[in-house]
Structure 1
Amino acid sequence: MYDRISNKKDLIRQLKEQLLSMEGFSSGSVSRRLDFGLGPMNAAFPGGTFPIGSIHELVSPTEADAAAANGFLAGLLSTLMGQSGICLWISVGRKLFPPALKFFGIEPHRVIFVDVKLKKDGLWVMEQALKCTALSAVVAELREVSFAESRRLQLAVEDSRVTGFLHRIRPVSQATLACVSRWKISPQPSHSNGLPGVGFSRVQVELEKIRNGRPGSWQFEWRKGRFLFVPAKRPAALTAESAKNNLDSNKASTKMKAG
């Protein structure tokens, strides 16, 4: 009886993984082995793991957001690439400083930078690169991408299972794309724990769209080579105000009882 139940559970799990794979997700054993350090955010993903082998969209309305997004992206790439993986980074007007990748555990020589002048060239390079199974990931910094163009990119990864990132910096439109997710990353003040100097870098991660998942917002800190989830805290001013209100309420209640 127990073996029959166990076999049914395994069959259901396999069917779920097949369905997710058909919808553009990779949630198999490889995906489960990768720990991106996203902690409670994993619950937002279908299958409870970061979707690899898919196309993700990052939207940055400002240059500051773009810098924060590239930092967050570099943290994800450090896990995807592991110790020997290669990434292709395509840009129209690249601003990334390659040596800065070492801060996230990525040696610059393991990232192949392709700078193009036209968007159509960047899309062509990305589509061809996504078909190359020798790559761990492909990043493209492109301002505008249509649904049809994003659909071609998603179709390209369904066979290769290479993970792709479309980083749209200061886009004119917010049109829906065929990507499995849409992210918005914004910089946050660092916390130095009362010590002199600047604390660890922090970002606010907003998962605005995730297919078959639950969108949400989380804050992370990059510390000792990995992401650290930062729990939300009530502002000190709000806490003090609440305490004052409780005290006033208790005083009023005491007067009423005395009267």
Structure 2
Amino acid sequence: MANSSTGDSVLTRLDRVLSTFSAAESLLSAAEISRRTGLPPATAHRLCRDMAELGWLESLPGGYIIGTRLWEMTNRSAPTMRLAVRARPHLSDVQAVMGQHVQLGVIEGHEVLFVDRLSAREAPRIHGGVAGRLPLHVSATGIVLLAHASAEFRMFYRSHHDEKVPGGTPTIAEDRLEQVRQQGYCAQTGVIEPEVTGIAVPVRQRGRAVVAALGVVTDDDDVARRPAPWVQMLQIAARGIQREISGQN
């Protein structure tokens, strides 16, 4: 397939097609993909057909869904998936005790990408899920990652995300991020969902670099008042993940 008349490469067009799918809209017709990507209908139909033949998409009576080929390759080789696999037993331990949402996030661009999440029936309904994204400064998991990013990255992020949570409290001021670094965790309530608290701690590699953040999301009122027991459990799990990804026994 040659480049388009607009100069878009084949890979760019493939990425535009794949980016149209979401958890809420997992089945799309070629016509809808054409509309969302801006690709000519004939081009969108051809790309969808070719991607289905390769397993990138799967053709169904109502349109196309993401194919299993992507899932297969991602699980086999992506570093984030290897991290999620090694961390899963520790997330399971935390979730079994806390009975709430437990999630693992990494920095992806200017967002936190949630590479794994375990939930319980009693846990509150919250936004997103595995492979979901949020701006770094709106979740406890993201703030932990932002706090441990380089000074240059933090300055650049603040210059592009000068926002405040309800009540006017700056979430990304440097003194706030310094507090998170010093105390070893972030806790905040009501930023995304009312009366829902997020607590997160850093996950480090052997060289002490922060590579992920481990968090819990709950509507338990006691968490905001007494975060210490929750933080301690998360830190124990984070050290377990560190041993796994650092190859320590």
TM-score category, normalised to shorter length: under 0.3
TM-score, normalized by length of structure 2? 0.28
Structure number with the higher strand fraction is: 1
Q: Which has the larger radius of gyration?
A: 1
Q: TM-score, normalised by structure 1?
A: 0.27
- The higher relative CO (CA closer than 8 Å, separation ≥ 6) is in 1
